């Protein structure tokens, strides 16, 4: 599986999505392959950048827009379909 | 000297951000009884669901549309309205979050398709989760970093964009993302690979600011 370059597996490796055996093969390949090492550094950097995304607070107006609907109920108490 | 200090500060901020992001993205699962209550029309139960997921849904939509708060609010409302209307169809065959994020994904992609051309003017907004102990300069650096990342993500192809947002706003596994998107885990891996590399290349000028020793 890892005789050739392994770049397509590197995000999965970085994100802990591979099995232990696959991890070992990836690591062994990275020790020997400069191209894949370079790609891994690139992916690792990209992942760190993506980790900088911050959660935003949804505005209260979002709930107000939704809240009106629960008051519209069918005869059996379930929300009416729109 | 000042530049070196700013770089060191950015490094520290980055590490703090990593830890903060992991805390923020802690899952808040909604249990079976809550879902059943929603299905019975219990508005308090629905409010619990809304509170558990509203920030994630809003944040994904906000990043997807490059900071457009009006669109993000609309999508958040649309998602929860649709959830409320269709929750009776949820049968516990998949995780509730998978089902919810499918709604988010479809809402974002549908809106993207319906908008032929738009201009966004990023609005100034307070980042709610900055460390209050951070100096003004650190907060500025953090805002600039996050803003740069969001801009790059907003310009990715929609399928890459939604994949990376699902990964980083709820730390979904590749299998979970695959279920949301209706594709294989291998496709998710491929998309994240591309997205990570795009970020790295577009923001290569920030590389020097980050220490590599991990």
pTM above 0.80, yes or no: no
Are the C-beta atoms of residues A13 and A26 closer than 8 Å to each other? yes
On the question of pLDDT at B134 being above 50, the answer is yes
Which member of A12, A52, A56 has the closest CB to residue B62?
A: A56
The two tokens of residue B65 are: 């549309």
Which has the higher per-residue pLDDT, B122 or B157?
B157
Are the C-beta atoms of residues B41 and A79 closer than 8 Å to each other? yes
Chain A residues bordering chain B (beta-carbon distance below 8 Å): 7-12, 14-15, 17, 39, 41-43, 45-59, 61-63, 65-67, 69-71, 73, 77-79, 81-82
Distance between B212 CA and the closest CA of chain A, angstroms: 9
Which residues in chain B have Cβ-Cβ distances shorter than 8 Å to A16? none
B182-198 burial: b if 16+ Cβ within 10 Å, else e: eeebebbbbbbbbbbbb
Which stretch, A32-36, B42-46, B82-86, B209-213, has highest mean pLDDT? A32-36
Mean pLDDT lowest among B89-103, B112-126, B149-163, B199-213: B112-126
- For residue B103, which of B50, B42, B37, B33 has the smallest C-alpha distance? B50
**DSSP codes of every residue in A41-54:** HHHHHHHHHHTT--
CA B193 to CA B50: how far, in whole Å? 32
Model ipTM over 0.85: no
């Amino acid at each position: 599986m890892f005789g050739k370059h392994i770049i397509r597996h590197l995000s999965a490796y970085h994100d802990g999505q591979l099995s232990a055996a696959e991890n070992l093969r990836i690591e062994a390949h990275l020790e020997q392959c400069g191209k894949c090492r370079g790609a891994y550094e690139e992916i690792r950097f990209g992942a760190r950048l993506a980790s900088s995304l911050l959660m935003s607070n949804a505005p209260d107006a979002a709930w107000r827009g939704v809240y009106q609907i629960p008051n519209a109920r069918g005869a059996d108490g379930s929300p009416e379909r729109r | 000297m000042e530049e070196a200090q700013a770089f060191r500060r950015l490094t520290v901020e980055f590490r703090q951000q990593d830890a903060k992001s992991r805390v923020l993205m802690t899952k808040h699962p909604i249990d079976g009884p809550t879902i059943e209550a929603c299905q019975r029309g219990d508005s308090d139960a629905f409010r619990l669901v809304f509170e558990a997921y509203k920030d994630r849904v809003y944040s994904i939509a906000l990043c997807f549309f490059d900071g457009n708060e009006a669109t993000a609010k609309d999508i958040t409302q649309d998602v929860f309205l649709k959830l409320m209307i269709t929750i009776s169809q949820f049968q516990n065959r998949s995780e509730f979050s998978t089902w919810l994020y499918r709604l988010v994904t479809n809402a974002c992609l549908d809106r993207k398709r319906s908008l032929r051309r738009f201009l966004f003017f990023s609005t100034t907004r307070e980042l709610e989760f900055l460390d209050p102990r951070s100096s003004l300069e650190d907060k500025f650096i953090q805002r600039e970093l996050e803003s740069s990342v969001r801009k790059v993500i907003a310009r990715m192809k929609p399928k890459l964009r939604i994949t990376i947002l699902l990964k980083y706003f709820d730390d979904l596994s590749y299998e979970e993302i695959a279920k949301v998107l209706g594709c294989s885990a291998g496709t998710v891996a491929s998309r994240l690979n591309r997205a990570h590399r795009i970020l790295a290349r577009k923001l290569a000028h920030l590389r020097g600011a980050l220490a590599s020793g991990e």
